[in-house]
Amino acid sequence: MIGIKRRTPAMPPPVQAATHHRAAHYDGSVGSIGAARRLTADFLHQLAAEWYAPVGAEQMQDILLVVSELATNAERHSGGPYLVELAGDAESVHVTVWDSGSTLPRVFAPDPLRIGGHGMEIVLRLCDGLTMELVPVGKRVSARFDLT
């Protein structure tokens, strides 16, 4: 009996789902943080409507608070303009703030008696993942929110 070898075609790579993106530059002038929050709220509403992303009211407030904290840090500590970049799909939202600062944000241990310095503590509690890295022109801080 002669065996027949069949060639199985290689499986194509999985298709990567597209992601919804939005970004804006801010110069740190009065109203920049509010504008970044409005950009984010509009983005999240569109993500929910067009991508069927399960963004609840409480999670939306968490994401908006993180945008406020990251934008505030960029304004206070970078001495220059910053970029807010948003990306999301039906499973997660990523908020990234790029600025020209040369040092990463400090994360302090929780201390209810400390005045100030709670921003990154808040961010860490609200998001599902946080990355901070120095890049050639400054730094990038990115928070991930898993949608449930």
Number of structural domains in the chain: 1
CA-CA distance, 34 to 107, in Å (whole number)? 24
Residue 76 is predicted with a pLDDT of 93
Residue 117 lies in a domain: yes
Residue range of the domain that includes 139 = 22-146
CA-CA distance, 3 to 58, in Å (whole number)? 63
Q: What CATH number should be reported for the domain holding residue 117? A: 3.30.565.10
Residue 35 lies in a domain: yes
Residue 17 lies in a domain: no
Helices 57-78 and 32-51 cross at an angle (nearest 10°) of 150
Residue 6 lies in a domain: no
Residue 136 lies in a domain: yes
Residue 133 is predicted with a pLDDT of 98
Residue 12 lies in a domain: no
Residue 8 lies in a domain: no
pLDDT profile of the chain (148 residues), mean per 10: 47 63 97 98 97 96 99 92 97 98 92 90 97 97 95
